[in-house]
Amino acid sequence: GESVGLHLPTLSVQEGDNSIINCAYSNSASDYFIWYKQESGKGPQFIIDIRSNMDKRQGQRVTVLLNKTVKHLSLQIAATQPGDSAVYFCAEKQGSGGYNKLIFGAGTRLAVHP
Amino acid sequence: EPEVTQTPSHQVTQMGQEVILRCVPISNHLYFYWYRQILGQKVEFLVSFYNNEISEKSEIFDDQFSVERPDGSNFTLKIRSTKLEDSAMYFCASERTDTQYFGPGTRLTVL
C-alpha cells in the first residue's frame, strides 16, 4: 500500500557534525515532499520541501535530496546545533482539487550532544 | 511573521462530554486542516476544509466530529461525545498554496 516511512527512530550526533535523516516512500506517483521539525510540545514546523522534478534543494544549513529511482529522500543538516534537537518528519502531499492532505512518516528523533 | 494560533493549549474533559477546539488560521489562507497526534505516534490527517465545506475526511473523522468556520477568522473542531481514545494533540493547519503551516496544538485529555 501507499506509505511514507523513516529508516531510523533515533539519531544521535555530536554538535558541529552533519546529520542525515532518511525517509522512504512507496507511492511512485507522489510528487511533493516536505520535511517538518517538531520540538517537544510544539506543532510541526516547515523546514524545506521538494518536488519530484527536482533531485536536490538547499536551504539555510539544510539540504533535501530526492532519489526517485529508489523512492528515497533525505534531509541533511550541516553543522548540527543543540537547537536542532527535535523529531523530524517527512510528509508526502497527496490529493487533488487545490488542496492536499499530508501523509506523515513515523518520525526520527535527532539528539545533538555537546 | 503570521502564525496559526490555537486555543486552549490544554483541555481536560470527562468521557462523553463535548469539546470545541479553536484555531485562528493565517489570514489570507484558503485551505484549512485538522490533524491529530496520539502521544508518541505520527501525525494523522483528520479533515480538510475549503470554501466553507469539508473537502476530505479520514476514517477517524466519524459522526462525532464536526468542523466549522463560523466567521472570517476562526476554524473550530467539535467532538460531540468524547471517548478515552480521543486523547491526543490536535493540530490545526492552514495553507494558501502548497505549504501547510501548523499551530502549536491543543492537548486533549479525556478522563
H or E stretch covering B100: strand B100-102
- Contact between B102 and A43 using a beta-carbon 8 Å cutoff: yes
pLDDT in tens, B35-52: 999 988 889 999 999 989
- Find residue A95's DSSP bridge partners: none
Q: Which CATH architecture has domain B5-95?
A: Sandwich (2.60)
Query: And the C-alpha cell for A72?
Result: 528515497
Domain range for residue A76? 4-113
Structural domains of chain A, count: 1
Q: Along the 111 residues of chain B, how does pLDDT read in single tens digits?
A: 789 999 999 999 999 999 999 999 999 899 999 999 998 888 999 999 998 999 999 999 999 999 999 887 899 999 999 999 999 999 999 998 878 999 999 999 999
- Contact between B45 and A102 using a beta-carbon 8 Å cutoff: yes
Q: How far is B41 from chain A (nearest CA, A)?
A: 7
Nearest to A76 by CA among A65, A89, A84: A65
Q: Domain ranges in chain B?
A: 5-95
Q: Residues A62-76: what's their mean pLDDT?
A: 94
Q: Does B65 touch chain A (CB under 8 A)?
A: no
The owner of cell 523513516 is A6
Please give the Cα distance from A24 to A9 (Å, whole number): 13
Nearest to A84 by CA among A45, A26, A29, A33: A45
E-assigned strand segments in chain A: 4-6, 10-14, 19-25, 32-38, 45-51, 56-58, 62-67, 72-77, 86-94, 101-104, 108-113
What pLDDT, on a 0 to 100 scale, did the predictor assign at position A4? 54
Q: Does B90 touch chain A (CB under 8 A)?
A: no
More confident residue, B79 or A3: B79
- Contact between A98 and B50 using a beta-carbon 8 Å cutoff: yes
